[in-house]
Amino acid sequence: MPETIIVEHIGGVMTVTLNRPDVLNAVNDQLAHELHEALRQAAREAAVRCLVLTGAGRGFCSGQDLRGRAESRPSYRDHLRATYNPIILLLRTMEKPVIASVNGVAAGAGMSLALAADLRVASERASFIEVFSRVGLVPDSGSTHLLTRLVGLGKALELCYTADPVDAQEALRLGLVNRVVPHDELNAATGTLAARLAAGPTKAYGLMKRALTYGLHAPLDAALEYEAHLQEIAGRSADHGEGVAAFLEKRPPSFHGR
């Protein structure tokens, strides 16, 4: 059983709660390992049709736990390769919707985790800090790639240079989060959205995620070709058949994610 995270699987929704509230859910090796295992399970299990990532207590995730770092002088490169990079890749490639339910501060690698989700629902108390420059480091765990794509190069550089916190409303304005809700309503709002996505055409969602991700860096002709292939695949899915039947019968579709 994991000790630093809480994993709940209700209906089609798996919720992973980072659970080191006394340190604002800072990531130590154990948490990284347990989170990676939970994400692998979420990616593997067809019964999981939406993943929610959130934090226990006041914070979402304060990033790398720096305690012990000064003495041990690890290779940051090796640490990132072994620890964070596989987690970020898994979040970006698992073929089902991933929602970050940002309940408080998301700093450093914690911000990267939120950025690696497909959607971000933020509490009014959420804030985002690319904290790395304060300690003379470079944003990591995908932040340099993901932040630029969400807010553009100019704003991304500002956030990375200054390490100033972005509050929830500003994050919404920047397109950094998808929606902001009152703090007390965060769980309900995330739950409603997650349940809705978990009842959706998961196979098509997964293909969309692939296509949109591919489209970020592909020329138009290649993206069109890629779309055509994915549409062929989606067209053979059971959910597509159900969607068309439901449309013709004027009833809501009942998708099974296949």
Q: Which is nearer to another protein, 23 or 80 (CB)?
A: 80
CB of 229 to another protein, least distance (A): 4
CB of 233 to another protein, least distance (A): 5
- Spatial distance between the Cα atoms of 241 and 229, rounded to a whole number of angstroms: 18
CB of 212 to another protein, least distance (A): 14
Q: How far apart are the first and last CA of the chain?
A: 30
Segment holding 125, helix H or strand E: none
- Alpha carbon 132 to chain centroid, angstroms: 20
CB of 218 to another protein, least distance (A): 11
Q: Which is nearer to another protein, 34 or 239 (CB)?
A: 239
CB of 148 to another protein, least distance (A): 20
Q: Which among 137, 138, 166 is positioned nearest to 151, based on CA atoms?
A: 166
Q: Which is nearer to another protein, 167 or 227 (CB)?
A: 227
Q: Which is nearer to another protein, 137 or 222 (CB)?
A: 222
Residues with Cβ within 8 Å of 22's Cβ and at least 6 positions away in sequence, in order, are 57
Q: Which is nearer to another protein, 46 or 138 (CB)?
A: 46
DSSP string covering 4-56, please? SEEEEEETTEEEEEE--GGGTT-B-HHHHHHHHHHHHHHHH-TT--EEEEEES
As a whole number of Å, the CA-based R_g of the chain is 19
CB of 214 to another protein, least distance (A): 9
Q: Which is nearer to another protein, 157 or 233 (CB)?
A: 233
Give the residue carrying structure tokens 């059971």. 238
* Contacts with another protein, residue ranges (CB under 8 A): 210, 226, 229-230, 232-233
Angle at 205 between CA 199 and CA 207, to 5 degrees: 150
DSSP string covering 52-87, please? EEEESTT-SB--B--TTHHHH---HHHHIIIIIHHH
